[in-house]
Structure 1
């Protein structure tokens, strides 16, 4: 499918961007292979016909397409007169090997470092729901890029990142109605509703009326973490809240949350947050 990816904590690095219009209908998409450059374009008016290796795309007004670096692409039909589009050429991200995909099911209240080091796989193509907003974003990005400011490139890259995140989230939201997504949403709701309970496999089977092995495998695939790991995140989020809002010590919080002993609690806390609870407490703003 020649998908275009970006690390979640990296801005897309623009090489060039612009707005074009073919008034006479004498142009078509270039025939080229861009070794280190990904391409994004959005059609404002008319339509653009593009091939990327064996795949064919006809992008209508209000639609967009990502083209992957180092993959041959070329134009098909000439543009219809009056075709107008925006384009962004940005450098391929070389740091994506072995990165986990960002999970749209990240409902944990803890912001963890691995959330930012995940990767985003952008939808290959699609249509925007609010064309005026998207076109305003693109216009603002090009205006920033053309600015004489020393920060013009960074500002343009930041605006492009916001545009790409909007397209990504809209595509993910469009998949929310799939069967697997509905199952995961029900599991997460069940976990949050019972975050104080000691859930076992039978509880999930009774709630979802499905085999636990299947549910566990699906959860791991969709969220990137096990059910137990997700449950631990919920428990540690409660621990952090108790550390913030009370003067309870580690042993007292461990007991409040039902851990067998404070040593096990500390191990789980460090596994989730990356630091021991005593370190986390020292770094908090706590109520007097």
Structure 2
């Protein structure tokens, strides 16, 4: 499918951005192989017909397509008269395809403290799709183009940042569409159950009974979708509460451990460090307390 993948901690590096209209329908997509440049285009009016290697795409008004660098693509049919489109050409400087397996960005992550591991993930963009709401998306593209054409001394960084935000919106919309699937609905049910009473130590039987499904199946599905176990997610919720208590009171580590139902402060400290990357004593030395 020649998917476009970017590191979550790097901006797409813009090569060129433009807006074009083929009033008479005399153009078709160029025959080319851009060895360093990925392509994004969005059709505002009309339609564009493109082949990428053996894959054929007909992109209608309101739809977009990503084309991967170093992959031949060309147009067959001429554009419809009046076809209007935006395009973004961008570099990426990292060989993701040859790298070791990189985890997808954890979009189920609700942790208060953001670990550096979150920034070592990737974003896999949908190959094609539609922009919604259409008017808002087109205003975003017009603003990106305006920034690209400006004389602002930091326009390069501004354009890369605006484009990344636009791409994140596309990514977010694709996640929302996937979450309509049955498996994603089950994950949401588990998460809602865990959030209902953050202090309650839910046993596997409790989760089985609430969802009417085998816990082993639920656990496997949860890890596949979120990249973590149900227990790990529950521990994150408990540590979020610990952080909130630390910030809003003068309770010590033992008191917070007891309040949250941990078996002892040593186990609490291990879980706290696993979730946040630092021990509770180090964390307390770094924060403001009310």
Same fold judged by TM-score > 0.5? Answer: yes
Query: Partners in 2 of 1:153 and 1:282 — Cα distance?
Result: 39
**Residue 107 of structure 1 is aligned with which of 110, 117, 128?**
110
Q: Secondary structure in 2 aligned to 1:36?
A: coil
> Which whole-Å deviations, capped at 9, do the CAs of 1:212-234 have from their partners, x for residues lacking one?
11111100111111111111111
**Residue 212 of structure 2 is aligned with which of 209, 213, 228?**
209
| Shift of residue 95, structure 1, vs aligned partner | 5.7
Matching residue of 1:272: 275
Query: Partners in 1 of 2:129 and 2:245 — Cα distance?
Result: 44
Normalising by the residue count of structure 2, what TM-score does the alignment of the two structures yield?
0.95
Matching residue of 2:58: 58
Q: Please say which of residues 98-107 and 242-251 is displaced more in the overlay.
A: 98-107
Query: Partners in 2 of 1:208 and 1:107 — Cα distance?
Result: 22
Q: Work out the number of aligned pairs and report it.
A: 287
Query: Partners in 2 of 1:226 and 1:82 — Cα distance?
Result: 52
Normalising by the residue count of structure 1, what TM-score does the alignment of the two structures yield?
0.96
Contact 1:29–1:50 (8 Å) recurs in 2: yes
1:110-259 map, 5 Å? 110-259=113-262
Query: Partners in 2 of 1:240 and 1:81 — Cα distance?
Result: 60
| Shift of residue 112, structure 1, vs aligned partner | 2.7
Query: Partners in 1 of 2:262 and 2:223 — Cα distance?
Result: 24
| Shift of residue 260, structure 1, vs aligned partner | 1.4
| Shift of residue 83, structure 1, vs aligned partner | 1.0
Query: Partners in 2 of 1:3 and 1:94 — Cα distance?
Result: 14
Q: Any gaps of 5 or more consecutive residues in structure 2?
A: none
Q: Any gaps of 5 or more consecutive residues in structure 1?
A: none
Contact 1:59–1:65 (8 Å) recurs in 2: yes
| Shift of residue 170, structure 1, vs aligned partner | 1.3
Q: Secondary structure in 1 aligned to 2:163?
A: helix
Query: Partners in 2 of 1:237 and 1:265 — Cα distance?
Result: 12
Q: Secondary structure in 2 aligned to 1:192?
A: helix
Query: Partners in 1 of 2:146 and 2:243 — Cα distance?
Result: 43
Matching residue of 1:33: 33
